[in-house]
Structure 1
Amino acid sequence: MNWDQIAGKWTEMKGFAKQKWGELTDDELDQLSGKRDQLAGLIQQKYGLAKEETERQIKEFETSCKC
């Protein structure tokens, strides 16, 4: 699944995002509205990850989504 598909189904997909990144709150995920760059920034902030690792995790999330 590509990011455009994920963003289009963000209401459904944010539950999967919550499973992967449990420190993200429901409110934060709601505010993202499926915006990939904002998700990346939030993951970096919450988990203290480098940009490369954040991008790897998001790419893994994209490929694991089968909805």
Structure 2
Amino acid sequence: MNIVRSWREQKIMLKIWFPVLRDQDFLFEPGEREHMLDRLAAKLSKTRAELETVFAELQLY
């Protein structure tokens, strides 16, 4: 996947697409990115593969 958007832009877009998400859902300590992604997937009732698809779609807009 070619990442063209900053993490800040991706967070904003995700919060627009999924209003249930809040800023605190995106917080993570260095080395804990995978845990944050697991929490996002659980909160959105998506698998990690589905979540990766959402991130890929973000790059198209």
Q: Structure 1 length as normaliser, TM-score?
A: 0.56
Equivalent residues, number: 57
Change (3 A) 1:18 1:49: same
What fraction of aligned residue pairs are identical, expressed as a percent? Answer: 16
* Aligned: 1:46 with 2:47: no
Alignment partners' CA distance in 2, 1:39 and 1:59: 17
Structure 1 spans left out of the alignment, 5+ residues: none
Aligned AA for 2:56? K
